[in-house]
C-alpha cells in the first residue's frame, strides 16, 4: 500500500485540507466517488438535487421500478425504531414507461450516473424490464431488487432461495447488453448469504448489492395491534449496520474480485469506511437521507478525510483492507503456539 503524503502542513489557524482522488471503478462504471444513494431513499434524484449536486456523487440508484404503475400499501407505512425505521411502502411507483420518459431521461439530461433498480413479481417481469432498459439511454448499471420484503407473498422474495434468485438474474442477463453491469440486491434474511451470492454470480450477475432491509414488525402499545398497515416492514438505518458489514465481509472473503456495493445504516464517512474495509467497492446511503438530505455529499467528504488520514491514496486500496493477514508478530506467536 502506498501512503498518501500530505504535501504541506496546516496553515496557521486553519484546518489542513486533505484531498485524494476518490475516483471509483465499479464493475466498469467510472465514478467520481464511491458514495451512491440507496434504492428507495432517493426517488429518482430530483428531490435530492435541491440539496447537493447529484452529479458529484458516484451514482443515483433509483427506487425499484416495476412494469406497471403500482399504488403501494395502505398507510401507516412507517414506524421509527431505535436507530432505524420500518417501512412498508410496497414498491409504489409509476411503472417502467413513465419512469423512462419522466425520470431516467431527466437523470440522463442532468448528467448523473444512474443505476436503475428493477423489481418484478415474476421472472418474466424482470426479463421484460431488462429488455426495456436495453434500449434506454442513460443506464449505467442495473440493480435487481430480488429482496424487497414488502410483497404480498413472502414466497416471492427471490433472494431467499438461491435457485429462484439465479433464475431472475439469468433472465435479466439474457435480456441486457452483455457489457451492462448487473447487481443482485441480496436479503440478509437468509441462513447462507454467500450461497445466494454464488448462485446469482453463476447466473450472470456482475456483482452484488448488500444488504436490503431486514423483515421486522412493531406493535403499537396504544392500539395493541401491528403499527404498520402492511403488518410487517423492512428495517433499515444504523440499527442494521453490523449485520450489513458482516454480510459484506463474508461475501468479500468468498469472492476476492466480485464487485460489491455495501449498504445498511451508513450515517457518516467512518461508517462508509467500515463497509469499504470489509470489502465493499462502493457504498449506498439510504435511511440517513431522511434524517439529513445533504448526507450523501457530506459522507463523501468525511470518507475522503478518513481515507487520507489512514494513508490511503485511492479508494481501491482500502477495499477489503480489514481482511489482510494478521501482523507478522502475531503470526509468529501463533506458530510458536502450534509448535508446542
Q: Inter-axis angle of helices 295-309 and 269-278, to 10 degrees? A: 60
> Closer to another protein at the Cβ: 87 or 187?
87
Q: Which helix (H) or strand (E) holds 235?
A: strand 232-236
Residue from 82, 137, 178, 325 touching another protein (CB under 8 A): that is: 82
Contact 166, 172 (CB under 8 A): no
> Closer to another protein at the Cβ: 87 or 206?
87
Largest Cα–Cα distance of the chain, in whole Å?
70
> Closer to another protein at the Cβ: 89 or 168?
89
Residue from 24, 33, 87, 305 touching another protein (CB under 8 A): that is: 87
Residue from 35, 48, 247, 248 touching another protein (CB under 8 A): that is: 48
Q: Alpha-carbon distance 249 to 40, whole Å?
A: 24
64 is an interface residue for another protein by CB under 8 A: no
Nearest of 69, 38, 74 to residue 150 by alpha carbon:
74
Site string for another protein, 116-155 (x = CB under 8 A): ----------------------------------xxx---
42 is an interface residue for another protein by CB under 8 A: yes
Residue from 293, 301, 311, 316 touching another protein (CB under 8 A): that is: 293
DSSP string, 275-287: HHHHT-SEEEE-T
Q: How far is the CB of 215 from another protein (least distance, A)?
A: 15
Cα-based distances in Å from 71 to 94, 101, 108:
8, 19, 26
DSSP string, 164-225: HHHHHHHHHHHTS-TTS-EEEEEPS-SS-HHHHHHHHHHTT-SEEEE--PEEEE-EETTTTE
294 is an interface residue for another protein by CB under 8 A: yes
Q: Is 148 a catalytic residue?
A: yes
106 is an interface residue for another protein by CB under 8 A: no
72 is an interface residue for another protein by CB under 8 A: yes
Residues 272-291 that bind another protein (CB under 8 A): 287-291
90 is an interface residue for another protein by CB under 8 A: yes
Q: What angle do CA 140, 67, 194 make, to 5 degrees?
A: 60
Backbone angles phi, psi at 318, to 5 degrees: -85, -15
Catalytic residues: 148
Q: Where on the chain is the footprint of another protein (CB under 8 A)?
A: 40-43, 47-48, 50-51, 63, 68-78, 80, 82-85, 87, 89-93, 95, 150-152, 229-230, 237-238, 287-294
Amino acid at each position: 500500500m502506498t501512503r498518501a503524503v500530505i504535501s504541506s502542513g496546516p496553515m496557521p489557524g486553519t484546518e489542513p485540507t486533505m484531498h485524494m482522488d476518490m475516483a471509483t471503478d465499479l464493475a466498469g462504471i467510472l465514478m467520481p466517488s464511491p458514495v451512491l444513494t440507496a434504492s428507495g431513499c432517493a426517488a429518482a434524484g430530483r428531490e435530492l438535487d435541491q440539496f447537493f449536486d447529484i452529479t458529484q456523487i458516484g451514482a443515483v440508484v433509483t427506487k425499484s421500478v416495476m412494469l406497471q404503475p403500482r399504488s403501494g400499501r395502505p398507510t401507516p407505512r412507517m414506524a421509527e425504531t431505535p436507530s432505524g425505521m420500518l417501512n412498508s411502502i410496497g414498491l409504489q411507483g409509476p411503472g417502467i414507461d413513465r419512469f423512462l420518459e419522466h425520470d431516467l431521461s431527466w437523470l440522463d439530461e442532468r448528467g448523473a450516473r444512474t443505476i436503475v433498480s428493477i423489481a418484478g413479481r415474476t421472472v418474466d417481469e424482470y426479463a421484460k424490464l431488462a429488455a426495456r432498459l436495453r434500449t434506454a439511454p442513460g443506464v449505467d448499471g442495473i440493480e435487481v431488487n430480488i429482496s424487497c420484503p414488502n410483497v404480498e407473498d413472502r414466497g416471492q422474495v427471490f433472494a431467499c432461495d438461491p435457485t429462484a434468485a439465479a433464475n431472475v438474474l439469468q433472465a435479466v442477463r439474457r435480456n441486457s447488453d452483455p457489457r451492462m453491469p448487473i447487481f443482485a440486491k441480496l436479503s440478509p434474511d437468509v441462513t447462507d448469504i454467500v450461497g445466494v451470492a454464488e448462485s446469482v454470480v453463476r447466473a450472470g450477475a456482475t456483482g452484488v448489492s448488500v444488504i436490503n432491509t431486514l423483515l421486522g414488525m412493531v406493535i403499537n402499545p396504544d392500539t395493541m395491534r401491528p403499527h404498520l398497515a402492511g403488518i410487517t416492514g423492512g428495517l433499515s438505518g444504523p440499527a442494521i449496520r453490523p449485520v450489513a458489514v458482516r454480510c459484506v465481509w463474508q461475501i468479500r472473503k468468498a469472492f476476492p474480485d466480485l464487485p460489491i456495493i455495501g449498504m445498511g445504516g451508513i450515517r457518516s464517512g467512518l461508517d462508509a469506511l467500515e463497509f469499504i474495509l470489509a470489502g465493499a467497492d462502493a457504498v449506498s446511503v439510504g435511511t440517513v437521507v431522511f434524517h439529513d438530505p445533504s448526507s450523501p455529499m457530506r459522507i463523501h467528504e468525511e470518507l475522503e478525510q478518513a481515507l487520507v488520514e489512514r494513508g490511503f491514496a485511492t479508494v481501491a486500496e482500502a477495499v477489503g483492507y480489514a481482511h489482510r493477514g494478521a501482523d507478522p508478530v502475531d503470526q509468529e506467536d501463533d506458530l510458536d503456539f502450534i509448535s508446542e
